[in-house]
Each structure stands twice: as structure tokens, then as C-alpha cells.
Amino acid sequence: MDESIQDAEMPNLYREVLDAVARLERVGERAAAYEIRRKAIHTYSARWDDKGKRSLDKLARQARAQLAASPHAAALGSLAGNTEPA
């Protein structure tokens, strides 16, 4: 991959992972959030190559899957969607 393209993609992927981690933390999935953040920090600080890009991509997918599987996220999502007054 062209190095300039790689340089542009890495911060975006890293931000995507951190955004998903923040959502995990908000729904109470702190252990999963911690582990994904730890791996993302390690990758972002050490691997600005195709392998690093794939790793961050995988971590973003993992975080989204964890969020989708969280019973807490489903409960909070249904509460947030209720805009009718009680």
C-alpha cells in the first residue's frame, strides 16, 4: 500500500477503535473496552504498515461486535429511543 495512504488511514482507524471503546465503556463493558484499547494503543504506536492497519480494522470490528452483543447496550438503546414523555 502507498505509504501516504497508509499514513492517512491509520489515525482514522485508531479513532474508530477509540470511539467504539468509549461506547463499550458507556454501556458498562469496561473489561472488553480496556483490552481492546490496550491492543489498539500497542498497534498504533508500533505498526504503521499493512499488518497494523489490519489489526486496527480487526479491533474495530471486535469492538462493534462486543457492543452489539452487550445486553446493556440493547437496554440503553431502547431507553434512548423512547422520546415520548412518561
pLDDT in tens, 12-49: 999 999 999 999 999 999 999 999 999 999 999 998 99
Give pTM, 2 decimals. 0.77
pLDDT for 4 equals: 57
Which residue ranges make up each domain of the chain?
Answer: 22-73
> Looking at per-residue confidence, does 77 or 57 come out higher?
57
State the average pLDDT over residues 48-53: 93
Helices 3-26 and 30-46 sit at what angle, rounded to 10 degrees? 160
Residue in 23, 8, 83, 20 with CA at minimum distance from that of residue 53 = 8
DSSP state of 84: S
pLDDT for 6 equals: 60
Res. 74: pLDDT tops 90 = no
